[in-house]
C-alpha cells in the first residue's frame, strides 16, 4: 500500500511529465544536492559535478514524456546521473582538459571512492584485454591469475613445458599492458578513483 508521501511524489512526477514547470523546479530542489554529491564522489571536480547536475535535469525535462511514473523516479534519476558520470570519465580518454580536471581533484581524495559501477567498468576493460589474448595464452593466464596455479601445475594440467607456460604469461602480460596503455586516459582515471586498484 502506498503511503501519502509516495502518492504525493508520484503526482509530482506526473505533473513533470505533463510539462508543469513548477513541479519540475520542485523535483530539482528535492534531488539536485544528491546528484551533485553522487557526481563529485567520482569526478572530484565541483565544476564537472555541476555540469552533471545540469545535464541530468535537462535530460529529465527534455525526455519527460518517456518517464514511466510507475517506476521509482529516484532510481531513474541516478541511473541518468551514472551514465553522465561515466561519459565524462570516458571523454577524458580524448579530451586532455577533462582528464586534467578529474585528476587534479582526484589526487586529494582518491581512496574515498568505492562505487561498484566504476569498479565494474574497470573490470570490463581488464576482461576485454584478457579476451583479446590467443585461446591457449588466455587459459594459461587465467589459470595463473584466477586459480593461483604455479608454472609447474599449469604445465602439468595442459601438457606444456614450464618454459612454454612462462613464455605465455610473459606475452600475455605484455599484451594486456599494451591494451591498457591504449585506453590509458579512461583506465588511469578509474584507477585513481579506485585508489590504485588495477588487478593486474
Q: Let me know: does 98 contact 48? Beta carbons within 8 Å.
A: yes
Query: Domain check: are 96 and 132 in the same one?
Result: no
CA separation for the pair 145, 117 (Å, rounded): 23
pLDDT of residue 96: 54
Same domain, 27 and 65: yes
Shared domain check, 101 and 133: no
Q: How many domains does the chain have?
A: 2
CA distance 61 to 77: 11
Statement to judge: residues 28 and 67 lie in one domain: yes
Q: How high is the pLDDT of residue 188?
A: 46
- Helices within the chain (DSSP H only): 4-17, 21-43, 46-62, 73-91, 96-109, 116-131, 135-145, 151-158, 162-182, 184-193
Residue 139 lies in a domain: yes
CATH number of the domain residue 143 falls in: 1.10.10.10
pLDDT tens across the length of the chain (200 residues): 445 456 567 888 999 999 999 999 999 999 999 999 988 887 777 888 888 999 999 999 999 999 888 888 888 898 899 888 888 777 655 555 545 555 555 444 444 444 444 455 556 667 788 888 999 999 999 898 878 888 999 999 899 999 999 999 999 888 877 776 665 444 444 443 444 333 44
Same-domain status, 31 and 11: yes
Q: Is 124 in the same domain as 84?
A: no
Residue 75 and residue 138 in one domain: no
Q: pTM, whole model, 2 decimals?
A: 0.48
For residues 60 and 137, state if they share a domain: no
Domain assignment of residue 139, given as a range: 113-193
Answer yes or no: do 119 and 97 share one domain: no
86 inside domain: yes
Query: Do both 130 and 173 map to the same domain?
Result: yes
Last residue of some domain: 72, 105, 138?
105
Residue 123 has a pLDDT of 63
Identify the domain boundary among 48, 72, 105. Answer: 105
What is the pLDDT at residue 187? 46
Q: Which residues contact 107 (CB under 8 A, 6 or more apart)?
A: 192
Residue 199 lies in a domain: no
Amino acid at each position: 500500500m502506498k503511503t501519502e508521501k509516495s502518492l504525493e511524489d508520484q503526482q509530482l512526477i506526473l505533473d513533470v511529465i505533463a510539462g508543469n514547470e513548477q513541479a519540475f523546479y520542485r523535483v530539482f530542489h528535492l534531488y539536485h544536492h544528491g546528484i551533485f554529491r553522487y557526481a563529485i564522489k567520482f569526478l572530484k571536480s565541483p565544476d564537472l559535478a555541476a555540469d552533471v547536475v545540469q545535464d541530468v535535469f535537462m535530460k529529465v525535462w527534455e525526455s519527460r514524456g518517456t518517464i514511466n511514473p510507475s517506476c521509482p523516479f529516484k532510481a531513474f534519476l541516478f541511473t541518468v546521473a551514472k551514465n553522465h558520470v561515466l561519459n565524462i570519465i570516458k571523454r577524458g580518454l580524448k579530451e586532455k582538459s577533462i582528464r586534467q580536471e578529474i585528476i587534479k581533484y582526484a589526487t586529494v581524495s582518491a581512496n574515498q571512492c568505492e562505487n561498484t559501477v566504476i569498479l565494474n567498468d574497470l573490470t570490463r576493460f581488464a576482461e576485454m584485454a584478457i579476451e583479446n589474448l590467443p585461446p591457449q595464452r588466455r587459459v594459461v593466464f587465467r589459470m595463473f591469475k584466477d586459480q593461483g596455479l604455479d608454472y609447474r601445475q599449469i604445465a602439468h594440467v595442459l601438457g606444456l613445458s614450464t618454459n612454454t607456460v612462462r613464455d605465455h604469461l610473459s606475452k600475455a602480460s605484455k599484451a594486456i599492458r599494451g591494451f591498457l596503455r591504449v585506453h590509458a586516459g579512461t583506465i588511469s582515471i578509474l584507477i585513481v578513483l579506485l585508489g590504485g586498484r588495477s588487478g593486474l
